[in-house]
Structure 1
Amino acid sequence: MITNNIFKALGDFFTNVFFAPFEAIRFSDNWWAQSTLSWVFAIIAAGGFIYWMMQIQKFKKAGTE
């Protein structure tokens, strides 16, 4: 029963608290406001991918693959 309550509490937190700003952005008519967060996530992902590729290249050159 405790496990069930924990998962319900987590679901309630993410639905009502964590995603509340996204609900406000969803009903906005401004395209820039809606797309800014997506672009931030895309830039972070691209930066991580570039870092990962540089690390792979460094280890490949060192022969410690």
Structure 2
Amino acid sequence: MKDFFYAIQDFFVNVALVPFDALATIELENWWIANLFSWIFIVIAAVAVVYWMLQLKKHSDNNEEDKSVSSHSFL
């Protein structure tokens, strides 16, 4: 059973988490490149939020949602 847990450790240390080690190395070597990755992720998130808001507006303009008060009679 001990070998099983060592195998899990070996997998995560030597395979699964190698990209994070590479990012840490890049950050120590060049601050600008490390921040470039952050800005790329921020831009992707901003584009996703704008897309989502436009989709919500499109569905709101089509009046697809039942906004009548009778749908919540308990109020």
* TM-score > 0.5, shorter chain as reference: yes
Query: Residues of 2 paired with 1:22 and 1:34: CA distance?
Result: 7
Question: In the alignment, what sits opposite 2:16?
Answer: 14
Moved over 4 A (4+): 3-7
Q: Identity of counterpart residues, as a percentage?
A: 31
Secondary structure of the structure 1 residue equivalent to 2:64: coil
List runs of 5+ in structure 1 lacking aligned partners: none
Query: Residues of 2 paired with 1:14 and 1:42: CA distance?
Result: 24
* Structure ranking higher on relative contact order (CA contacts 8 Å, 6+ apart): 1
Letter in 2 for 1:14: A
Question: In the alignment, what sits opposite 1:63?
Answer: 63
User: Cα RMSD between the aligned structures?
Assistant: 2.4
Q: TM-score, normalised by structure 2?
A: 0.63
CA deviations over 1:1-45 (Å, ceiling 9, x no partner): 6x8678543x23232x222320221212x3311200000000000
